[in-house]
A and B are shown apart, each in its own frame.
Chain A
Amino acid sequence: MTVLATPDKTGSGFPLGFDAILDPSPLQYLDEHGALSGALRDDAPELDPKELLATWRAMVIGRRFDVQATTMVRQGRLAVYPSSFGQEACEIGAILALRPTDWFFPTYRDCVSMVTRGIDPVETLTLLRGDWHCGYDPQRWRTAPQTTPLATQAPHATGVGLAAKLAGDDTVALAFCGDGGTSEGDFHEALNFAAVYQAPAIFFVQNNQYAISVPLAKQTHAAALAHKAVGYGMAGVRVDGNDVIAVRRVVAEAAERARRGEGPTLIEAVTYRMQAHTNADDATRYRDESEVEYWQARDPLARLEIYLRAAGLLTDDVVAEANQAAEELAADMRARLGEEPEVDHRDLFRHVYAQPTPQLLEQAAALQAELDAESDAERDAGNEAAR
């Protein structure tokens, strides 16, 4: 698979310039106007049209998913939804660069990447609808449950990577986290362990500039989050997080390095959280609309479309097919998430331990007795009313 022929721009031997990270300007192939950027203009890369169209199509569908989920939270069909609108290049580019056998560790903001992995949209949204903590089989999808405590999933990726290495498998583990998450101790410990053990792990930081209301400048004094890689002795790269071609290529390269036994990589993808933190947040309290407009002009999907149209790849038929697939997904979400989910109170006790403790069996029986008494009372009241 060749997405791009990647000429060595640094003279370092590393095609992506992993050793040039002290330059904080992010790696970019496609600029905000949809044109090949920088030196690549004069050294046209070889692009795989099928690959590019598949990436674009996944972004169209991913964005439609996000918009539909935001709508459904307003309708009360989801308890909460943290949108990743505008971060599709990260959400999709990173996932499409992985193999199905690789492990993926998403956060609460990464539903789009999970749908891109193939997980059913309703199973993806089970957590946010509130009928269980995780709706899919993590083993089947090699996707951990979404993590809410920040960066705590990062050492799990280190552990999976280390385990795969000890088992002699070529599995890679990729953990997402945000710019705020890099301040957590677990982020540091995960990266340090991964570097010490040369674990095949990728730490992909979606630097979307905000941790709820706190801007990046209050999160770090460093010129770039990718610089932290130097301190761990691992490869690091800063990439334009709204350039899906660059994101996909960088993750693919990091994964290949990991598979070759060359250890972990820290990727900082510079992007922007277009929406508020969640539906419960009010972004106007802490940022100007002009800032949002600046990033609107750098939209990842728009710039790819410009490029693909200019290249003659994006025909009306292709667009129509993708839009239809996106609308079908949205209609399916409306239909299935519109139904009230069935929940079973017995699930409260079933999975706490492999074998429930005697105390849990007692408590399960007590809850059952309470519910039986309630339904008896309801039935009696019903009979009374019928008379």
Chain B
Amino acid sequence: MTATLDGAAQSTEISLAQAVNRALRDAMTADEKVVVFGEDVGVLGGVFRVTDGLTRDFGENRCFDTPLAEAGIMGTAIGMAMYGYRPVVEMQFDAFSYPAFEQIASHLAKMRNRTRGALPLPVVVRVPYGGGIGGVEHHSDSSEGYFVATPGLHVVTPATVSDAYTLLRAAIESDDPVIFMEPKRLYWSKDVLDTDAPAIGQAAVRRQGADATLIAYGPTVQTALEAAEAGAAEGFDLEVVDLRSIVPFDDATVTASVRKTGRAVVIHEAAGFGGTGAEIAARVSERCFHWLEAPVRRVTGFDIPYPPPKLERHHLPSVDRILDAVASLQWEDR
């Protein structure tokens, strides 16, 4: 992967939203078959300004607004991919992707398999997700579980500015459909862009530690890192694994970390019951049972519809809740 960044830009901090924009821009420059469309992504530049300037710079044939209809957006993208395009579509908010779910589950995820590889669908579905922005009920969902449970999709979620760029470039270059979950609460977080990053399917150890592994992705990686920092003051040396992609899942990195530390806490915003964390906890238990000093714990959202803004702080995994979980990991045996 090559980024079209000059030296000056490389030392400047940009926001995660700007990193996504730059990835789209560079992908559109590199391949004329890359097209971007969705609701308000054109002249407005998207409600989060992620597609800012793309219509202006690439023209309406490359970045365009659609009618308000997510199944139509998804179905049109599938047809365009059948014809050789590489559509990158935006679902304006997590919960707005649900009308597109039939197209995603019945066709996007299955077409390659259905046709024995004759009709691959290189489509990227960008989904701004997660809470913590004071949004209303349908603007704060963590919907990754639906996609993770659908074979045929890759499900990728960046937690850093650099991953927002590199993972999206990789997603667009992938010949498989990728659900690209953007943690909207991190859109305004800033960092220097580093384009040298591992491929889709590789997790990253964001912080080394010896006592327990915090396994997180997307919006909760930052929370996990803060918890690890706070935990150090309490005498816990915590490792933080950022999954980066949920499908494919990096069993190797997760297993190696937990076997090293002997304890694990899985963290996500989505409801715990039947959630992605349940799968991760099961995989860790299956692979690390003889290395575990304590049961794998989960810190997730409650099993409730997304709460209103004034109550969401009770719902979201917090530093304290993570540290409480860590503290419960049977340290008395140590």
B7: chain A residues at CB < 8 Å are none
Judge whether A336 is part of the interface by a CB distance below 8 angstroms: no
Query: Nearest CB to that of B252 among chain A residues?
Result: A358
Interface residues in B56-111 (C-beta closer than 8 Å to A):
61, 66-67, 69, 71-72, 74-85, 99, 102-103, 106-107, 110-111
A158:B76 contact, CB within 8 angstroms:
yes
Q: Contacts A152-B106, A162-B76, A354-B176 given: A185-B82 contact, CB under 8 Å?
A: no
* Residue of B67, B112, B116, B252 touching A353 (CB-CB under 8 A): B112
| Interface membership of B175, Cβ < 8 A | yes
Chain B neighbourhood of A347, CB < 8 A: 116
A354 touches B67 (CB 8 A): no
Count of chain B residues with a beta carbon within 8 Å of a chain A beta carbon = 47
User: Using a CB-CB cutoff of 8 Å, which residues 218-266 of chain B contact chain A?
Assistant: 247-249, 251-252
A139 at the binding interface (Cβ < 8 Å):
yes
Task: Identify which of A152, A154, A160, A192 contacts B80 (C-beta below 8 A).
Answer: A160
Selected from B81, B120, B251, the residue in CB contact (under 8 A) with A359 is B251
Q: Output the nearest chain A residue to B103 by Cβ-Cβ distance.
A: A152
Contacts of A354 in B (CB 8 A): 112, 117, 120, 174-176
Docked complex Cα distance between A107 and B283 (Å): 40
Bound-state Cα–Cα, A154 to B110, Å:
17
Which of B102, B120, B252 has a CB less than 8 Å from the CB of A152?
B102
B79 CB → nearest A CB, Å: 2
> Which of B72, B247, B252 makes the CB contact (< 8 A) with A155?
B72
A196 close to chain B: CB less than 8 A: yes
Query: Which A-chain residue is minimally distant from B82 (CB atoms)?
Result: A160
Whether A189 is near chain B, meaning CB under 8 Å from some CB there, is yes
Whether A345 sits at the interface, judged by CB under 8 Å, is no
In the bound complex, CA of A350 to CA of B69 (Å) = 33
The docked-state distance in angstroms from the alpha carbon of A157 to that of B72 is 11
Contact of B113 among A157, A186, A190, A351 (CB under 8 A): A351
| A-side contacts of B149, CB under 8 Å | none
- Flag if A193 contacts B251 (CB, 8 Å): no
Question: How far apart are the CA atoms of A22 and B252 in the complex, in Å?
Answer: 65
B72, B119, B248: residue with the most chain A Cβ atoms closer than 10 Å? B72
Name A192-230 residues within 8 Å CB distance of B: 192-193, 196
Q: Which of A304-358 contact B (CB under 8 A)?
A: 347, 350-354, 357-358
Contact B119 A139 (CB under 8 A): yes
Tell whether B114 is near chain A: CB-to-CB under 8 Å.
yes
Q: A323–B99 Cα gap in the complex (Å)?
A: 49
Question: Which residues of the other chain, A, contact B66 by a CB distance below 8 angstroms?
Answer: 193
Q: How far is the CB of A353 from chain B (nearest CB, A)?
A: 5
Which of the 9-residue segments A74-82, A130-138, A276-284, A370-378 touches chain B? A130-138
Q: Which of A128-166 contact B (CB under 8 A)?
A: 132-134, 137-139, 144-145, 149, 152, 154-164, 166
Q: Is A167 an interface residue (CB 8 A)?
A: yes
Contact B112 A351, beta carbon cutoff 8 Å: yes
Chain B residues within 8 Å of A119, by CB: none
- B152 close to chain A: CB less than 8 A: yes
- The chain B residue with its CB closest to the CB of A347 is B116
Residue ranges of A at the interface with B (Cβ–Cβ < 8 Å): 103, 132-134, 137-139, 144-145, 149, 152, 154-164, 166-167, 171, 173, 185-186, 188-190, 192-193, 196, 347, 350-354, 357-359
17 contacts between A and B (CB under 8 A): A134-B116, A152-B75, A155-B78, A158-B76, A159-B81, A162-B76, A163-B82, A186-B75, A186-B102, A189-B71, A192-B67, A350-B117, A352-B112, A353-B152, A354-B112, A358-B201, A359-B251
Beyond A133-B114, A186-B72, 4 additional contacts (C-beta under 8 Å) are A155-B103, A159-B80, A163-B85, A358-B251
